[in-house]
Amino acid sequence: MWTIRQEQTEAFRRYHLKKFEDQMVVHLKTFAAQHWKAIGEQAGREAIRWGIEQAKKYGFTNRGPVRFYIELMFMLGGFFDTDPQCAWAIQILRDPANIDQMTRAERLHQALLAYWGAVAGPENQFLFAALRKLSKAKAEDYVVIGVPVEECLLNGLKDLYPQKCEYVGGRALKLLLSRTFELANRYGFSSTEDLAMMTALTFFLGHGCTGDPLYGWIGRRLADSRLDSAKKRSAELKAKAMLYLKHSLEGNEAA
């Protein structure tokens, strides 16, 4: 009679995880081509492995649901499961009635179709129109003397991307801004221009973008000891963000 030792079981598990990871690499090179190109394979693989662990928190262990969870990370940000902009996803993920992972994944998929259709639009037209406006926007375009900066930036988001703002709702956007301002303060960002930059990052890339493995370029610049002042960190971060935006738009035009 054969006996399967624990180390054999672990080796079997690692083999299948590596096989799944390799398959996800191939898939994401097409599914999120521009994003994958920007972060590179090493960071992409790290994000996949992290996504597998994140998916487990919601009972996703089967290949299909885990793959879908990772796709959502690439679309909405690695911390979409706690992002006030994704309340529709949070509600489904935390609903105790959705015990079966396939049921949970299917409900999540249907909600995503509704969200993405309303927010991104046909062939992502709304999304890329917003990104083009963002590439030309300046903080001073939205600042009004005597009006709180939070209100100015909220109005700016509504101007840049009205479809998403309407779907997400004012309450969630105000919560996002509150968290963004706390985040900005943590890194010493206090000017209107810096607050506007951080707001754009959290709005378009997700509220956890500063610690998101999908956007390691943000975290690396915020943690770079050579950038020994908030002004230097802000300048470096803005330069990289504009380059990332430029590549995203060029990729869309080439598609």
Whether the per-residue pLDDT at 8 is higher than 50: the answer is no
User: Which residue's entry shows tokens 């375009």?
Assistant: 141
For residue 96, the model assigns a pLDDT of: 82
* 115-143 confidence digits (pLDDT tens): 999 999 999 999 999 999 999 999 888 98
Percent of the chain at pLDDT above 90?
80
**pTM score:** 0.91
CA distance 174 to 180: 10
For residue 1, the model assigns a pLDDT of: 44
Other C-beta atoms closer than 10 Å to the C-beta of 122 total 7
Whether the per-residue pLDDT at 247 is higher than 90: the answer is no
Who's near 221: CB < 8 A, 6+ residues apart? Answer: 227, 233, 236, 237, 240
Domain ranges within the chain, ordered by starting residue: 7-119, 123-254
